[in-house]
Structure formats: C-alpha cells, structure tokens
Copies of this chain bind each other. A is one copy, B any other.
Amino acid sequence: MASISKRVTFQVGAGAADERTLTLSSMSNDGHLISIRPFVTPSKNEKSFPFEWGFACTSDGAKINKLDSKSMTIDFNFEFDTNVQLEKENTHRGVINTSWKTWDSGLVEERGQVFPFGAEKEGVSFFELWQPIDPAEHRFVSIQSEPQAASGARSVVLSLNNGQYRGLIVVVGIWIQGILFKENDSSQESINFLRAIETPAGEWTYLIQFGPDFDKFPNSINVKQGSSVLAGSTSWTVIESNL
C-alpha cells in the first residue's frame, strides 16, 4: 500500500534523539521508494548541500519481510545514495538491515546498524521514528488508527536511465518526490532533488528544487504505466501507475 511518512526522531548510537530535517519517505504500491532529508536550518557548512541524506531505489533494493501485523524487516540496498554518489568517506556501503515495529500509537520505529568504517569494523546503531501521514493532505496530518486513509492514493513511479542521467520519481497521493544523478560525476552538482505537492487544480507547488539539472524533472505525472514522460529532451519511463 502506498504510504508517506514524516520522520520525527533520529538517534545515532548513544547520542541524544533529535530531528533537524524535514524528512519525508514515500513508498509506492509496488514498493519503490525515496527518502529526501533536507535540513530545516542548515549550518553554514551545510548550506551548499543542505541535505542530511537522500536515497531511493526500486523494490529490488528494499526486501521486505513481514513478521506479523506490527513488525517487519527491510533489507535496503539503495540504487541512489547521495553518500555513495559524492564518494563520501566513512559512510556505509551496501545492504542495510533494518527492523520495523508499529507502536500502539501508530508511530513506526525503525532500528538498524550501519558500518561507516567497513563491514568488518564496528557498526553504529541507529533509531528513527516515523509518523505516517495522509498522502491526500498538504499539511502533515497524522494517520492514527485509520491506515485505510492511504489506500486508493495515487501511486505513480517514473524511472530514468539514459547513460548520462539516472533518476527515480515516486508519487504518493499529492506528494511528488524525485532524485536525479548525473553519471560519471561525483560532485555536488551531480545531485538533483524534487519535492512538490499537486494542488486540486493540477498545479505543482515546489517545496524543494535542487540541482543544476532540475529542469530534467518532468512537471506532470498523470500517466499510465508503460508510457513515457518528457522533460525537455529527457524521457522518463512510467514503471508504475494506478491511474
């Protein structure tokens, strides 16, 4: 079921819980996902790239194993990872094993370990807490004991891989999130992000417009599966659509 969740807590190792970002993670009906994590108030050093992290993958990169109605594991292997793209040192590479538990209150806890110094070195545990939100609302409306609110939401996914660029756009309800990497470039300028909400009139309100190739994101996504969407000369493939 397509869902969109807002992170409320991030805690690393023995550090204190905090949340400096406005992180939204979208997952489509078919399990394609994207997470964009912009700082709300970036520090001076963070201003040129004001994101804690961004990643995305098709369902191939997120192996979900439901344990019961309240818990599951997800093994992530991101196709798009800003840390990898930027060739950042001391950041994790490869599969990340995570455990998920839905609390009585409807919040969802995620726990896992990353290995920033290599798979053989000591891991660092992390804890993230997620609030599922109503994908039909532009404000952040908590989904409490009403998960059916999200069912029937628009779920559209676009993919790009033309040798020069690769990208993924996941649309859940009115929320559009996209990532676009330039190939053979590990500079900050190779990374582009899109976050927008669609108004009832079909217009987009942009919340994040980041990167020099932002114009390669399309500005309309109401399309059937298997069709193509053009953004200038860039052609995206619709790999999922419930329209």
Contact surface of A with B, Cβ cutoff 8 Å: 6, 8-9, 17-22, 39-41, 103-107, 109, 127, 129, 131, 134, 137, 139-142, 144-145
Contacts and interface: CB of A to CB of B under 8 A. Distances in A.
Nearest to A109: B17
A41 B17 CA distance: 26
A106 B7 CA distance: 12
A233 B39 CA distance: 56
A140 B145 CA distance: 12
A19 B8 CA distance: 13
| Majority secondary structure of chain A interface residues (helix, strand, loop or mixed) | loop
A105 B19 contact: yes
Contacts of A141: 137, 139-142
A103 B18 contact: yes
Kindly name the residue among A22, A129, A140 whose own CB sees the greatest number of chain B CB atoms within 10 A. A140
Contact of A9 (B9, B20, B104): B9
Contacts of A109: 17
A21 B105 contact: yes
Given A40-B145, A137-B141, 9 more contacts: A8-B107, A9-B107, A17-B109, A19-B103, A20-B105, A39-B104, A40-B105, A131-B142, A142-B142
